[in-house]
Amino acid sequence: MSNSKLALLVASATTFFSSSALAQEAAAAAGAASNQFDTHAMAALAAGLAIGMAVLGGALAQGRAAASALEGISRNPGAAPRIQTPMILGLALIESLVLMALVIAYLLQAKVG
């Protein structure tokens, strides 16, 4: 598909979808009461996503750190004490970032609630 056809497709799709969003002026007055519910729902969704992404990132980082440390120890067993201490410190720092995300999610829930 050429660039001009793709640009035309994107422009027409944007035009058609944005016009339906502008047609909701009558529902805006009635929806003012539901705005508070929407805010609470979005805050809960944001908190859940923040925790999920933090746990996923922390787990991947801890797995990679442990794998790298074990690979280094297996290549040079004499360096195990020099590798193990920084690895444990790094794992603790990675876990603290996940706990920070948990605290931020609770603060987000408390601010809206």
What are the structural domain ranges in the chain?
35-112
pLDDT at residue number 92: 93
Question: Over 70: is that where the pLDDT of 70 sits?
Answer: yes
Helix ranges (DSSP H) in 1-113? 3-22, 25-30, 34-75, 80-112
Can you give the pLDDT at residue 73? 92
Q: What is the rounded CA–CA span in Å between residue 60 and residue 50?
A: 15
The average confidence (pLDDT) of the chain is 81
Locus of tokens 């720092």? 93
pTM > 0.75: no
Q: What is the mean pLDDT of residues 104-111?
A: 81
Q: Supply the CATH classification number for the domain 35-112.
A: 1.20.20.10
Lowest mean pLDDT among 30-39, 50-59, 86-95, 97-106: 30-39
pLDDT score recorded for residue 45: 84
